[in-house]
Structure 1
């Protein structure tokens, strides 16, 4: 089976696809925003990338959310709850983590079926 790489660069690809499973990590573009807005931005990017690759949020199997501050958990959940596909919530894990860009408050990794 072939591994597809979406927008590959030297260091990493934007997404990879294997066996009709999409692997993608989203980071916010609005680095001056609060955690809720950053989460909403990252989720909107997930929507766009999945659509480009022939999938959508209802087909997400697994999501891992990395938060810098535990205190942003409720704000992140507000954005997530407004976005997640009713009846199609994936398995999800949220981890407190130091992220590489000091402007990031959240980073979201998803695995989705195509």
Structure 2
């Protein structure tokens, strides 16, 4: 039986959970919500990178991503611009992107990812 490792856990949730060779990073959003979609996406991806590193992996080991955007029509291209620059070359994950009502009105993007734990590109 594999152990479960929980990262940045509070009463309500863990920011990441490592189990069976995979890390599941819960929904991440930007801290500075005054930023536009590019700024919020950059901040969100930086937080994801931090949790991946804490779990012993990196973005080159991404398996899947789910991206929620407040306004696809207005912000899909800007989010993709940042995402494409961030994604490790030759290591694109599966991905789904959807428009949804966010938990707070100033959140423009929320992202969750799953990655394999193990040998990293760094």
Q: Which contiguous aligned blocks of 4+ residues in structure 1 show a shift greater than 3 angstroms?
A: none
The 5-angstrom pairing of residues 33-112 of structure 1 reads 33-70=35-72, 71-112=74-115
Structure 1 position 20 matched with structure 2 position 21: yes
The 5-angstrom pairing of residues 1-16 of structure 1 reads 1-16=2-17
> Which sections of structure 1, spanning at least 5 residues, go unmatched?
none
Q: Match of 1:100, SS?
A: coil
Distance in 2 (alpha carbons) for counterparts of 1:49 and 1:6: 8
The total of aligned residue pairs comes to 114
CA-based RMSD:
0.9
> Structure 1 residue 105: deviation in Å?
0.1
Q: Match of 1:23, SS?
A: strand
Normalized against structure 2, the TM-score is what? 0.90
> Structure 1 residue 53: deviation in Å?
1.3
Normalized against structure 1, the TM-score is what? 0.96
